[in-house]
């Protein structure tokens, strides 16, 4: 008989997500150094960064289709292998293409982690999905905080980016070992008796399609800004990478105290609250200068704090028949949107820099710095339209769910199938 240890599985999942987020935090901190070492322009950096967001949706969507068949444990062992391969290839990178493929492997590993862990958390805690998913996903910003602080420390003491990347090997080996020793339950959809036909009908429902589209916007608002904030605002403040540390630190705190917020506002109310603060924070980031930028980062961090886990939690609670496929399609949609947007905005950023260079003059370092100083905030201002549209979308969702609740006041609680240990 299987011995399912909820707590051990939960913490091993958090550790796997920590590796995922370290890859984001460390890569965001070493973008400028990669550009110098390998002579890369912003468009090439944008493509390399976007590659992680290609691998992620590829892995998470495929994982969503097969996780019910092969099980969550096998998926996580695959994630472990991809992580090790991606880290090794990054350390020994020789140029653009090796960075491209190493980032792709890490993206595939990251997507495979979420393909298994999101349905695992929903299965382990059927009575409290959104809150538990917020607890789990606090390790994403948590890892970014750790990663950016490590980058800042290592740069200060003169250690290169290869050592920074190598640091990810330690938690990778630990989570791989833990998952290899633990038993896993079947997914909630399988245990609840929902058929494959039920699952496909659920992911084609109007509510799921609406959330799927909204995931494009919430993911771009959070992840594009997070990955590029150091580069876009490096000429606005001397400590641009610390803006990412501050923003993600706020996200860690917010997700740690998610339970009262989720219970008070319900998932749809949390999403509306988040969109309002994200829009305000992004506007401030694009217009403030000097130390006031750090206040803008706090507001933005509050805004994007609950986006990702609450989007997934909303689907898990309100469209349970969609199963692991539904949760993973949501994650895939978000990362795919970020990949496309990142490539587009990398080229847009290069065009803005050229536009702001003095005409007919040699591109001196001072002139380029001045052009970047103007271009970075303009990229953020162009992105601002996305959370503004999300405010309208989630306001409509709040009204829809309120009407739906009045029509269906009774709910049947989902029984827990997991031992409480």
Residue 418 pLDDT more than 60? no
Residue 138 resides in a domain: yes
Q: In this predicted structure, what is the pLDDT of residue 415?
A: 42
Q: CA Rg, the chain, in Å?
A: 21
Rounded to whole angstroms, the Cα distance separating 45 from 41 reads 6
CB 217 within 8 A of CB 238: no
Q: CA 148, 153, 158, 159 torsion: positive or negative? A: negative
- Contact yes or no for 68/324 (Cβ under 8 A): yes
In a domain, 420, yes or no: no
Average model confidence (pLDDT) for the chain?
86
pLDDT > 70 in the chain, percent: 92
In a domain, 392, yes or no: yes
Task: Tell me the mean pLDDT in the region 313-329.
Answer: 93
Q: What pLDDT does 232 receive?
A: 67
3-state secondary structure the chain: CCCCCHHHHHHHHHHHHHHHHHHHHHHHHHHHHHHHHHCCCHHHHHHHHHHHHHHHHHHHHHHHHHHHHHCHHHHHHHHHHHHHHHHHHHHCCCCHHHHHHHHHHHHHHHHHHHHHHHHHHHHHCCCCHHHHHHHHHCHHHHHHHHHHHHHHHHHHHCCCHHHHHHCCHHHHHHHHHHHHHCCCCCCHHHHHCCCHHHHHHHHCCHHHHHHHHHHHHHHHHHHHHHHHHHHHCCCCCCCHHHHHHHHHHHHHHHHHCHHHHHHHHHHHHHHHHHHHHHHHHHHHHHHCCCCHHHHHHHHHHHHHCCHHHHHHHHHHHHCHHHHHHHHHHHHHHHHHHHHHHHHHHHHHHHHHHHHHCCCCCCCCHHHHHHHHHHHHHHHHHHHCHHHHHHHHHHHHHHHHHHHHHHHCCCCCCCCCCCCCC
**Residue 417 located in a structural domain:** no
pLDDT at 279: 97
How confident is the model over 273-311, as pLDDT tens digits? 999 999 999 999 888 877 888 899 899 999 999 999 999
Q: Is residue 416, in this structure, part of any structural domain at all?
A: no
Residue 234 pLDDT more than 70?
Answer: no
Angstrom distance (rounded) from CA 302 to CA 137: 15
Q: Is it the case that residue 1 has pLDDT exceeding 70?
A: no
Q: What is the pLDDT of residues 114-163, one digit of tens each?
A: 999 999 999 999 888 999 999 999 998 888 778 777 777 887 888 888 88
- Sign of the alpha-carbon torsion through 56, 59, 63, 65: positive
Reported confidence tier of residue 231, pLDDT bands at 50, 70, 90: low
In a domain, 168, yes or no: yes
Show the domain range for 351.
Answer: 6-407
Domains in the chain, number: 1
Stretch among 47-51, 115-119, 346-350 having the lowest mean pLDDT: 47-51
Domain for residue 413, yes or no? Answer: no
**Mean pLDDT along residues 105-115:** 92
pLDDT: which is higher, 34 or 206: 206
In a domain, 414, yes or no: no
d(CA 37, CA 35) in angstroms, rounded, equals: 6
**Is the Cβ–Cβ distance between 120 and 296 less than 8 Å?**
no
Q: Residue 213: how many CB atoms within 10 A of its CB? A: 12
We report the CATH number of the domain holding residue 331 as 1.20.1250.20
Are the C-beta atoms of residues 21 and 139 closer than 8 Å to each other?
A: yes
Q: Is the pTM of this model over 0.95?
A: no
pLDDT digits (tens, 9 = 90+) for 163-202: 888 888 999 999 999 999 999 998 888 888 889 999 999 9
Is it the case that residue 27 has pLDDT exceeding 80? Answer: no
């Amino acid at each position: 008989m299987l011995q399912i240890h909820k707590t051990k599985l939960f913490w091993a999942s958090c550790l796997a997500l920590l590796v995922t987020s370290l890859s984001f935090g460390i890569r965001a901190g070493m973008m400028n150094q990669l550009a110098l070492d390998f002579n890369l322009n912003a468009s090439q950096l944008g493509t390399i960064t976007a590659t992680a967001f290609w691998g992620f949706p590829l892995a998470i969507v495929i994982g969503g289709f097969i996780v019910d068949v092969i099980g969550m444990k096998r998926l996580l062992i695959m994630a472990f292998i991809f992580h090790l391969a991606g880290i090794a290839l990054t350390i020994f990178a020789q140029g653009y293409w090796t960075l491209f493929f190493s980032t792709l492997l890490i993206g595939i590993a990251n997507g495979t982690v979420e393909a298994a862990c999101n349905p695992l958390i929903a299965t382990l805690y059927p009575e409290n999905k959104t809150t538990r998913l917020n607890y789990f996903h606090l390790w994403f910003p948590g890892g970014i905080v750790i990663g950016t602080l490590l980058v800042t420390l290592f740069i200060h003491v003169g250690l290169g980016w290869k050592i920074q990347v190598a640091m990810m090997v330690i938690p990778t080996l630990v989570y791989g070992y833990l998952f290899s020793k633990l038993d896993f339950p079947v997914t909630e959809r399988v245990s609840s008796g929902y058929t494959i036909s039920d699952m496909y009908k659920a992911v084609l429902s109007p509510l799921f399609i609406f959330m799927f589209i909204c995931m494009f916007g919430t993911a771009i608002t959070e992840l594009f800004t997070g990955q590029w904030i150091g580069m876009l605002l490096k000429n606005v403040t001397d400590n641009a990478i610390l803006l990412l540390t501050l923003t993600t630190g706020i996200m860690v705190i917010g997700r740690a105290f998610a339970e009262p917020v989720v219970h008070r506002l319900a998932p749809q109310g949390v999403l509306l609250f988040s969109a309002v603060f994200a829009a305000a924070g992004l506007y401030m980031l694009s217009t403030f200068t000097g130390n006031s930028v750090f206040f803008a980062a706090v507001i933005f961090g509050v805004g994007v704090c609950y986006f990702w886990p609450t989007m997934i939690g909303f689907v898990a609670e309100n469209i349970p028949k969609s199963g692991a496929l539904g949760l993973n399609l949501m994650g895939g949609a978000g990362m795919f949107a970020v990949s496309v947007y990142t490539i587009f905005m990398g080229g847009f950023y290069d065009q803005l820099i050229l536009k702001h260079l003095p005409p007919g003059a040699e591109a001196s370092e001072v002139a380029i710095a001045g052009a970047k100083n103007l271009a970075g905030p303009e990229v953020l201002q162009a992105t601002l339209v996305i959370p503004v549209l999300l405010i309208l979308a989630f306001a409509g969702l709040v009204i829809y769910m309120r009407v739906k609740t009045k029509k269906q006041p009774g709910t049947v609680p989902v029984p827990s199938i997991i031992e409480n240990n």
